[in-house]
Structure 1
Amino acid sequence: MSAAAKKIVRSFLDSDVFINPELFKDFIHPDFRTHWHASSGYREYDYNEYYRLTESTASSYESMRTDITHMISEKDEVAARFTVFVKTVENPREEIPIGYFISIFKVSENKIIEIHQTSHPSEN
């Protein structure tokens, strides 16, 4: 499943799920959990909490994209290093980096069921 898992994660990272929450169910497994070590501390999200996070993001940003620099996979797990860039609703002409991420995604039944990630904000 290594290649398939990698394709699912890349599709998720390249998608507009954080701008269009209607896409959420296409990528996220109902038993989803994420474990996030951010500069503000440690957080855990289940399916519903992560969905609310995507809704909140969608109201703040005009667009969002990821620049993936590394992606490796083994069986049903994919590790990715990426930067997230956004255009804000207030300033849709300027794209700025908002964070740097290293994440390990676990895929089950062709959807992301678990994420372990660490991130820190950009200096902008």
Structure 2
Amino acid sequence: MSAAAKKLVTSFFESDAFKQKEVYEQYIHSDLQVYWHSSTGYNVYDFTSYWELIESASLSYESLRYDVSHILSEKDEVAVRYTLYTRTIENPGEEVPIGYFISIWKIEDGKLKTCHQTSHPAI
């Protein structure tokens, strides 16, 4: 499953899942749990609250782009290292990094079910 899991996560980051709820639902397990250590503290998200976070971010920016630099997989787990870039509504001509992330995704039933993530701002 390692190659299939890696392909699923790669496809997720290249998809419109961060813009369209229908696409998000194709990739994300209904029992999603995201455990996120960020510069603002520790948060836990479920299927709905993670979509609400994504939706809120997409409304705040002109565009979001995920640049994956590393992706490793073993069995049903995939580790991804990426930079999140954005174009602001105020300055859509300039793309800037806003954060660096490492996420470990667990795949179940062909969907992303569990994520352990850490991030820090690019500033």
Question: Shorter chain as normaliser: what TM range?
Answer: over 0.9
C-alpha deviation, 1:27, in angstroms: 1.1
What's the counterpart of residue 59 of structure 2? 59
Whether the aligned pair in 1 keeps the contact of 2:58 and 2:64 (CA below 8 Å) is no
Alpha carbons 2:16, 2:24 under 8 Å: kept = no
Cross-structure match for 2:89: 89
Deviations 1:31-53 (A, max 9, x none): 10000000100000011111111
Contact 1:104 1:116 in 2 (8 A): yes
Contact 2:76 2:106 in 1 (8 A): yes
Aligned-pair distance for 1:17? Answer: 2.1
Q: Confirm or deny: 8 A CA contact 2:64 2:87 kept in the other structure.
A: yes
CA distance in 1, matches of 2:55, 2:66: 18
How many aligned residue pairs are there?
Answer: 123
Which residue is 1:25 aligned to? 25
| Unmatched segments (≥5 aa) in structure 2 | none
User: Is residue 2:61 matched to residue 1:73?
Assistant: no
Residue 118 (1) aligns with residue 105 (2): no
TM-score norm. by structure 1 comes to 0.94
Alignment match, 2:40: 40
Query: 1:54 is paired with a residue of what secondary structure?
Result: helix
Which shifted more, 99-108 or 22-31? 22-31
Whether the 8 Å contact between 2:77 and 2:107 is mirrored in structure 1 is yes
Is contact 1:21–1:54 with CA below 8 Å preserved after alignment? no
The one-letter amino acid paired with 2:68 is I
Gaps of 5+ in 1: none
User: Partner of 2:19: helix, strand, or coil?
Assistant: coil
